């Protein structure tokens, strides 16, 4: 592999997903795009908020992913929120299907990024958090932040 294939350039992150879900595991998936969608993604015109993945007929589809049409494109425009197929191996799809059906987990996209010249989606197997769990997670983050600040002040003296 050359160095260009190893380079990762993060385009967008789904910050809301880490707040609303407990992430159990992640998997990297390719995404099937049409026309000028790659150019739009290079410009950062992609929104992962409120998107989710479903397994239908042995394929994984990403729904509610919004890719703004490329401004310089001529001709037919592609629907910005059409469902897009994620590219995974059959055995990976089978594992995800078992976990989502038996354990009540959800497939949530966390990150969209370029790996070399290919667009990849980091897909998470997650469990939804309740309102109490969200508050508890925020309190823990704030406590950790205060501890780090206190340690920085102590070492700075």
Tens digit of each residue's pLDDT (9 = 90 or more) over 65-85: 999 988 887 777 788 899 999
Mind listing the pLDDT tens digit for each residue in 11-60? 999 988 888 888 899 999 999 998 889 999 999 999 998 899 999 999 99
pLDDT of the residue at 66 = 93
DSSP for the chain, please give it: --HHHH-EEEEEE-HHHHHHEEEEEEEEEEE---TTHHHHHHTT-EE-TT-EEEEETTEEEEES-EEPPPTT--SPPPPTT--EEEE--HHHHHHHHHHHHHS--EEEEEEEEEETTEEEEEEEEEEEPPHHHHHHHHHHHHHHHHHHHHHHHHHH-
- What tens digit of pLDDT does each residue of 111-134 get? 999 999 899 999 999 988 777 767
Q: Where are the domains of the chain?
A: 3-129
Report the CATH fold assignment for 3-129.
Small Protein B; Chain: A; (2.40.280)
């Amino acid at each position: 592999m050359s160095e260009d294939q190893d380079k990762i350039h993060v385009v967008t992150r789904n910050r809301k997903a880490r707040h609303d879900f407990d992430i159990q595991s992640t998997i990297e998936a390719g995404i099937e795009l049409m026309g000028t969608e790659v150019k739009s993604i290079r410009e950062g015109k992609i929104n992962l908020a409120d998107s989710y993945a479903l397994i239908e007929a042995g394929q994984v589809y990403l729904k509610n992913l919004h890719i703004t049409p490329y401004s310089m494109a001529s001709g037919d425009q592609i629907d910005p929120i059409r469902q897009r197929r994620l590219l995974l191996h059959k055995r990976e799809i089978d594992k995800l299907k078992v976990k989502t059906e038996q354990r009540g987990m959800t497939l949530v996209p966390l990150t969209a990024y370029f790996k070399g010249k290919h667009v990849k989606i980091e897909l998470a197997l997650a469990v939804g958090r309740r309102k109490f769990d969200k508050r508890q997670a925020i309190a823990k983050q704030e406590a950790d932040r205060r501890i780090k600040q206190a340690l920085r002040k102590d070492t700075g003296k």
